[in-house]
Chain A
Amino acid sequence: DIQMTQSPPSLSASLGDKVTITCQASQNINKYIAWYQQKPGKAPRQLIRYTSTLVSGTPSRFSGSGSGRDYSFSISNVESEDIASYYCLQYDNLNTFGAGTKLELK
């Protein structure tokens, strides 16, 4: 099974900051990674598919990149509505989520 190592577990940012979250797969996942946002008490919301493609409705301040085993997700100009937990998901071989990153306001 493919393992996803997501870091950091938590992140503290000020409004307007740029933040970056990384996910490393235990093997090459051929860019088959998606990113989700989850707010407390809510179902996850998909933001990005296939490494860097923003799904409909995702603001342009969100971005993704990477290849092989290493991937990153960034939010430029953090807004208050971005305070949430974020998860990566590999879908190259079955599905595996990363452990998540909790984004908080500094």
Chain B
Amino acid sequence: AVQLVESGGGLVQPGKSLKLSCSASGFTFSSYGMHWIRQAPGKGLDWVAYISSSSGTVYADAVKERFTISRDNAKNTLYLQLNSLKSEDTAIYYCARSSNNYPGGYWGQGVMVTVSS
């Protein structure tokens, strides 16, 4: 069965960095694009970034220049490097497998990132 498990979240001070991981299993990871989506507490869903199977990347304007999506196909793992963190980056971060360039039917359980001093 397809499984996506995020890790690496936690409490971080404004301006600092954090790296999230998403471990994938149950499918050929290298064949699929992957997304990161976030959800601030009590708010709606916010698409963050996408990486194609060939490692092409696109970002939402709000995180461009600060966040970097990457993948390690040998480790079946997706990453999101979060730099220069702001309080408004506080959210649950989900990874999702792509289906025709959008988050399809497989999502992780999410990992919480809290940016606070």
Contacts and interface: CB of A to CB of B under 8 A. Distances in A.
A100 B46 CA distance: 11
B5 to A, nearest CB: 12
Interface stretch (A14-22, A72-80, A86-94): A86-94
Given A44-B107, A94-B60, A95-B35, A87 B101 contact: no
B11 interface: no
**Chain B interface: which size bin?**
20 to 34
A45 B35 CA distance: 15
B14 interface: no
A98 interface: yes
Given A1-B61, A34-B102, A95-B103, A100 B45 contact: yes
Interface string B86-103: 000000001000011111
Contacts of A36: 45
B67 to A, nearest CB: 14
B58 interface: yes
Contacts of A94: 47, 50, 58, 60
A97 B104 contact: no
Interface of B: 35, 37, 44-47, 50, 58, 60-61, 94, 99-105, 107-110
Interface of A: 1, 32, 34, 36, 38, 43-46, 49, 55-56, 85, 87, 89, 91, 94-100
23 contacts: A32-B102, A34-B102, A36-B45, A43-B94, A43-B107, A43-B108, A43-B109, A44-B45, A44-B103, A44-B107, A46-B104, A49-B104, A55-B105, A56-B105, A85-B44, A89-B45, A94-B58, A95-B35, A95-B50, A95-B102, A95-B103, A96-B47, A100-B45
